[in-house]
Structure 1
Amino acid sequence: MAQRYGGKYSPDPTDTDPTETTPDIGTYRDAKRTRAGGRVNFLFLAPLPLIWQAFGNGASAMALNLLALGALLLAAWLSREGIIAQEAYDARKVARRPGVPRKMAGSLLTGIGLGLAGFAAGGGTLAALVYLVAGTLLHGFAFGLDPLRDKGMEGIDQHQTDRVARVVDQAEAHLAAMRDAILRSGDRQAEARVERFQTKVREMLRTVEEDPRDLTAARRYLGVYLKGATDATIKFADIYARSRDAGARSDYMMLLTDLEENFTAKTRKLLQDNNSDLEIEISVLRDRLQREGIHLDS
Structure 2
Amino acid sequence: MAEPYGGKHSPGAAKHPRDPSAIRRSRAGARVNFLFVAPVAMLLVAFQMEPLGMFVKLAAFGVMMLAAWLTREGLRAEDAFEARRVARRPAIPRKLFGSVLTGLGLALAGLDTATFGLLNPVLFFILGAVLHFIAFGPDPMKDKGTEGMNEYQTDRVARAVDEAERHLAAMKDAIRRAEVPALDRRVATFADTARSMFRVVEEDPSDLTSARRYLGVYLLGARDATVQFADLYARSKNEDARRDYETLLDDLETSFTQKTEKLLKNDKSMLDVEIEVLRERLQREGIRSDI
Give me the TM-score of the superposition, normalised by structure 2.
0.92
Q: Any stretches of 5+ residues in structure 2 without a counterpart? A: 5-11
Deviations 1:42-77 (A, max 9, x none): 011111111122123212211111111111111111
CA contact (8 A) 1:65 1:120 kept: no
**Residue 87 of structure 1 aligns with which residue?**
79
2:47 equivalent to 1:55: yes
Q: Is the 8 A contact 2:22 2:192 kept in 1?
A: no
The alpha-carbon deviation at position 297 of structure 1 amounts to 3.1
Instruction: Give the whole-Å Cα distance in 1 for the aligned partners of 2:211 and 2:203.
Output: 13
Structure 1 position 218, deviation (Å): 0.3
Say whether the 8 Å CA contact 1:64–1:120 is kept in structure 2: no
RMSD: 1.9
Of 190, 201, 210, 1:197 maps to 190
Q: Does the CA-based 8 Å contact 1:107-1:139 persist in structure 2?
A: yes
Distance 1:242 1:62, change over 3 A: same
Most deviating of 238-247 and 42-51: 238-247
Does the aligned pair in 1 maintain the 2:16–2:186 contact within 8 Å? no
- Give the one of 200, 216, 220 matched to 1:207: 200
Does the 8 Å CA contact 1:177/1:230 hold for their aligned counterparts?
Answer: yes
Partner residue, 2:7: none
Q: Which amino acid aligns with 1:51?
A: L
Task: Give the Cα–Cα distance (whole angstroms) in 2 for the partners of residues 90 and 288 of structure 1.
Answer: 39
d(CA) in 2 for partners of 1:190, 1:48? 38
8 Å contact from structure 1 (residues 23, 193) kept in 2: no
Q: Which residue of 1 aligns with 2:171?
A: 178
* Aligned 8 A contact 1:23 1:196 in 2: no
TM-score by length of 1: 0.90
Partner of residue 56, structure 2: 64
**After alignment, is 229-238 or 53-62 more displaced?**
53-62
The reply on whether 1:247 has 2:240 as its aligned counterpart is yes
The AA in structure 2 aligned to 1:74 is: L
Amino acid corresponding to residue 271 of structure 2 in structure 1: L
Q: Runs of 4+ in structure 1 displaced over 6 angstroms? A: 9-12
| Separation in 2, partners of 1:212, 1:262 | 20
| 1:167 correspondence with 2:157 | no
CA distance in 2: counterparts of 1:235 and 1:136, whole angstroms: 47
For structure 1, the 5+ residue unaligned runs are: 1-8, 13-19
